[in-house]
Amino acid sequence: MVDRDHDRWLFKGDTELGLQGRDASTPAIQRRSSARLWGLVSLLGLVLLVHRLWPGTSIISCAFPGQRGVPVIEVCPQVSAIAPSSHASLVESLDQEYATEEFKLKAYESLGGAVRIPTECYDDLGSPLEDPRWKVHFDFHTYLETRFPRVHSSLRRTKVNTYALVYHWQGSDDSLKPLLLAAHSDVVPVNPATYEDWINPPYSGYFDGEWIWGRGSSDDKPGVIGSLTAIESLLERGFEPTRSVILAFGIDEERGGITGASAIGKYLLETFGEDSISMIVDEGGSGFSDQSGTIFATPAVAEKGYMDVRMDVLTPGGHSSRPPKHTGIGILSNIVTELEAHPHEPELVRGRTYYQGLQCRAKYDKGFPPELRKLVQESQYSDGKLHDLEARLLDFDPTFYAQAGTTQAIDIVGGGVKVNALPEAVWAIANHRIADHSSPSALMDRFASIVLPVAAKHNMSLDAFGEVISADGPAWGQIRLSDAFNTALEPAPVTPTTGSGPYELLSGTILSTLKTNLRTDEFPSSAVVSPSLSLDTKHYWNLTKHIFRYGHRGATDSYNGAHTINEAIRGEGFLEQIRFFTRLILNADETDLLG
């Protein structure tokens, strides 16, 4: 039942209705009864409309508040923990093994050894057959072969586009769609200037008794090593799957997967066909965190869009002793200043994933401010309250800007060749993660509208993504806007949640893994699963509509995040990832929730 104090999610009209002992046969009472009947019918119609527009809600009651009232809409419904039943003794035995110091040290070293292989990914990588910087992945292949011998003798391994890896663990029942676990072995480069700032060397893979240090220890070699460790352990116990399991390991996720994941996606589509996978679980920015004593696990069920916009400023050259009022670098700076002066504003949209996650927090987070909880409740049917909530979130939730709107970051700049020569061509690249309610075309239109006044101010023509807008009179130069790497991406289709078998299986497995954790720290006993949004699986959209981006790791299990100095993962956090993969494989093997 819904808690009537702070978890009662009701629509407008929360008042008790009753005849209070009067004769219902009188005309006045009949009229009031009729009015109530028609009001209830109208309200039920509204409820059904809301449920259709916002599928993350569920109709659970038509009882009036205080025993009588308006229909109740269940927000953020939860499932029970799901643990293997026919494989119960196996998972219990593996948990006992995972808890041993011998297993932990072996698993931590497996990850540490993977970290010691610097599989750095660069934006300008050439073809795998031509660019020698790819060859480090051969070393990584060899390492996996020696570290996981049973996997490589029992599973079919396919090298896709030379370096990407796909493992196929054949199940006994071909009628069951396979489970796909995805990860990537590439890492962002380490800036040599920061080497001295690392507590332990960036490719040491050192375990200090608590943390495993090094680039890739968080993003995303735990996904690769964790899933392989789980399967190696299952093979050691003689487990043979009923449902096939596929592992897909990309090699350039850090630049969009244009060489690895794109080739893997094509290979899987050609091998298995469209809609051939029961569910995909990939890495994501989401894991779980402690919110006022309740664990919130947040698998991503939606992905933002993506676009890198390149800005080229082309101007006449010449000797710097006779400079114009503004050089190309000055004009580029003007563009960047205008872009940062007009950031994208986040927008709260009912039914979108961020809004659904906010409803979960308001319902289950005991530390959620009561006035905000009330706004979340009222925003379900009031546009005014929705806007009030939006304004409050700007200060309350640090993730609101990044989650609910399009983000913009000027990350790369270049130009100029000599201190006494005017720069003829300068450029910068802005990275965008496009809101799930927007699109690349909307981004391009907005970008051009901000840059056009700058072009006019400096008497320059503007080439905005192929559409040329001439200057008034002879142009002094040109500003050119383009898709930097031709990787513009629409927001992803949203994965079904409430009432969806794969989502229920994933949620139940997460809760089961949390409930039985082997951690030694003080870990909360209550947990909920809440949808979120992320990136990373664009190349697999045709394989299934059930795609989840989730790394089973706590927010405090990363020492300093990813893509920065002192990347490290807590050993016990990595161990829980191995346990999650184990339980997911076993649950998927015996469930009737998957196709």
Per-residue model confidence (pLDDT) at position 139: 98
Say what the pTM is. Answer: 0.83
Can you tell me the mean pLDDT for 509-522?
96
Which of 13-27, 276-290, 564-578 shows the highest mean pLDDT? 564-578
List, for residues 229-257, the tens digit of each pLDDT value.
Answer: 999 999 999 999 999 999 999 999 999 89
β-strand partners of 10? 72
* DSSP code at position 257: S
- Residues noted as catalytic: 186, 253
**Half-sphere exposure of residue 448, counting CA atoms within 13 Å on the CB side?**
19
**Whether pLDDT at 23 is above 50:** no
List, for residues 114-141, the tens digit of each pLDDT value.
Answer: 999 999 999 899 999 999 999 999 999 9
Q: pLDDT band for 538, please (50, 70, 90 cuts).
A: confident
Q: What is the Cα–Cα distance from 394 to 390, expressed in whole angstroms? A: 7
All domains of the chain in start order, with CATH: 88-288+545-590 (3.40.630.10), 305-483 (3.30.70.360)
Per-residue buried b or exposed e for 272-293, using 16+ beta carbons within 10 Å of the residue's own CB: beeebbbbbbbbbbbbbeebee
Per-residue model confidence (pLDDT) at position 471: 78
Q: Which amino acid is at 329?
A: I
Find the radius of gyration of the CA atoms of the chain.
Answer: 28
Average pLDDT, the chain: 89
Looking only at the bridges linking them, the beta strands covering 300-303 and 532-534 are parallel
β-strand partners of 105? none
